[in-house]
Structure 1
Amino acid sequence: MKRININILLGLLATFMLVSCEEKDERVVYPHSTPVIESATINPTSFVYGDSVTITAKVSDPITPLSTLEMRMVVNDKVIATQKLRTKGNNAEVSAKFQVAYISELTNNADVEVTLNLINVEGDVTTTSITGIKGYRTYYKNLYLVLDNGKVITLTSKGDKSDEYESPGVDLKNNIRYKIAEKITDKDQIDFSGHVWGLKDGTIQIVDEGGDYIKTAEPMKKSTTGIIFNTYTFGTSLLGEDLVNISSLSLDVFMDSEISGETFKEGSFYIEKNKEITLTGDLKDAVFNLDYFERVGADKVKFLGETGPWVLDYSPARKYVLVQDLDSNYPNVLLACGEGLGYPSKTKIEATTGWGFDQIKQFILFRKVSDNTYQATVYFDAAKANFKFFENKGWGNEKKSDDYVLPEILINSTTKGAKDGNWYPAPTAKSGNYTITINLATKIVTAVAVTLP
């Protein structure tokens, strides 16, 4: 009998504790009311984008406790600052210092829209605004364009309170990688105590040391004769002569260049598909990329690529002309990189590829010749070959050798014993120039020995 009474007592106690907890966890419900923003200021009332400012506010709600004060600042439909401040109790005085963003398309001497939302714990909202706030742009005497190779180009303001900064007479390629700096050190390094424009999260913005280089290209320009950077749009324009539809080629229209320590001559050209091009000088003896050009005469080649802007690179030592596809991505092309491949040459016969895409000799472009079919004519080193196909320079969607039917000069990674998907030379393979064709649909690869024209 005593045992039963104890069990009943324990059950009643548990029930009491559960009820007590539920009552304790129940939220207090307050009546709806109207929060009051008694005063609110932005100090200073005029500022330069990128500066720090302070918001101060006095708020109250005599009936219902406060929760949050939200602030939003907008210029030209762009948000330049937001703040969320906790406001406990029925009365609160809050203050916070914050930095206003310095982003593109912010007008000078702009009326800054400042909106405040005061919210109590029941979700009631009072909205007001702060007027008379002005935002101003920064103007510079000079800015500095710093290329990824360390070269520094001074950009000078085009006028008083101009957003454009220009450097005329600059002879560069029609595509560049760079940052824009307000200050540089005496050793031509970027001084990050000033404003620096770079690439972050896919957009051009003010960056710190972690920002990447901006990429700007004008594929329809032959070369660059001037550069303009706009601090309003955060955009760069390359000035120069437009590409013309070429019918002849000579080395005097190429620019000196350097690729992996080797002297090259590089030029940008507008070329029509199936256009015959007359060659002069040393170019008559050069081996033009066999997948983009067909030799149709002692001094003539026919272009096989699509009509548009193209970059050609001529090596005086190797006596060949390579092609840069400005859209080196699938389905336009496939790329092969690794070891043991090179572009065919009559004077310097060797493989030049490596594991990377930093420069044109390091990988091979396979041109799309029909649906799902890609082709390249290469020098194949039977002692070194170890490569793989990719859809882009970001190592995207690799093509594994074990998934394909291979020609006699190749074996897959399983046969090799590596099981890494790489493409390897067969034991009986011979070094030489081959046209390799890969069909992504049928999974069949062919290799045909070729004689250079």
Structure 2
Amino acid sequence: SQGQPITFTGIPNYENWWIDSDYFSKGENENLTFAPLSGDYRIIADTKNQYFKVEKLANDTPAVLNQDGSGAIWVIGEKVGKPSFNNNEVGWDTNKALCMSSVENGIYQITLTAGVQVNAETINFKFFHQKGWGGEFTGDKITSESDIVIIPKEDGNLAIAEGKKLEVNNTYKFTVDVRNGIDKAILKVEKISQ
């Protein structure tokens, strides 16, 4: 449930784990609060990379994006990964797709720190309707309102605009808004910390 407190016990070195702010807010005594909309989720404890990977589910399988904008949006591609793209890059391996957090009906976000979870100077990833190949946000179905992160190609792959770059160690929130329809998506990129 959104706002539900979650406590993990028995995890070695838990105090050193990276906590994904798209899914959890950290309070006192390392306690976490679940951030996205209520629903069915799978939480995977990745002991190698020391973080909790969260995936939205529907009928015990990874959720897909529905025509009404509910469900899930997935990130697949190069130069992006959690907790670090250097150690855990998604690449074009759909099994490693990142599930965006559903923060409001029809609004999905992924928060990335430049130089850590996303490359600052060059990227090549995109948004998909499922954890795998199939429906995707091609260039005619999503537009970018950012002057730094653009969608220059018909395939919908994100890129850094020529002469621009993300600022290393600054954190950016990538938001996909499908409230006007899943074929009229809008990407916003907001710098939220430095």
TM-score by length of 1: 0.34
Residues 181-232 of structure 1: per-residue CA shift (max 9 Å, x gap): xxxxxxxxxxxxxxxxxxxxxxxxxxxxxxxxxxxxxxxxxxxxxxxxxxxx
Q: Match of 1:338?
A: 77
Q: Match of 1:278?
A: 7
Change (3 A) 1:449 1:304: same
How far is the alpha carbon of 1:335 from its aligned partner? Answer: 0.8
Change (3 A) 1:344 1:426: farther
Change (3 A) 1:338 1:349: closer
Residues 92-151 of structure 1: per-residue CA shift (max 9 Å, x gap): xxxxxxxxxxxxxxxxxxxxxxxxxxxxxxxxxxxxxxxxxxxxxxxxxxxxxxxxxxxx
Distance 1:420 1:335 in 2: 15
Cα RMSD of the aligned pairs, angstroms, is: 2.9
Is the CA contact 1:291–1:367 (under 8 Å) kept in the aligned structure 2?
Answer: yes
Change (3 A) 1:339 1:409: same
> Percent identity of the aligned residues?
25
Structure with higher RCO (Cα < 8 A, 6+ apart): 2
- Normalized per residue, the structure richer in strand is 1
TM-score by length of 2: 0.72
Name stretches of at least 5 consecutive residues in structure 1 with no aligned partner.
1-271
The answer to whether the aligner puts 1:297 opposite 2:31 as a matched pair is no
Change (3 A) 1:285 1:384: same
Q: Match of 1:231?
A: none
The answer to whether the aligner puts 1:421 opposite 2:156 as a matched pair is yes
Q: Match of 1:386?
A: 124
Distance 2:6 2:118 in 1: 29
Residues 397-408 of structure 1 mapped to structure 2, 5 A cutoff: 397-401=135-139, 403-408=142-147
Residues 53-75 of structure 1: per-residue CA shift (max 9 Å, x gap): xxxxxxxxxxxxxxxxxxxxxxx
SS in structure 2 at match of 1:407: coil
How far is the alpha carbon of 1:448 from its aligned partner? Answer: 2.7
Is the CA contact 2:174–2:190 (under 8 Å) kept in the aligned structure 1?
Answer: yes
Rg larger for: 1
How far is the alpha carbon of 1:332 from its aligned partner? Answer: 1.3
Name stretches of at least 5 consecutive residues in structure 2 with no aligned partner.
none
Distance 2:87 2:55 in 1: 20
Distance 1:397 1:285 in 2: 37
Change (3 A) 1:310 1:353: same
Distance 1:383 1:407 in 2: 15
Is the CA contact 1:350–1:381 (under 8 Å) kept in the aligned structure 2?
Answer: no
Distance 2:82 2:192 in 1: 13
Change (3 A) 1:306 1:448: closer
Q: Match of 2:101?
A: 367
Is the CA contact 1:388–1:421 (under 8 Å) kept in the aligned structure 2?
Answer: yes
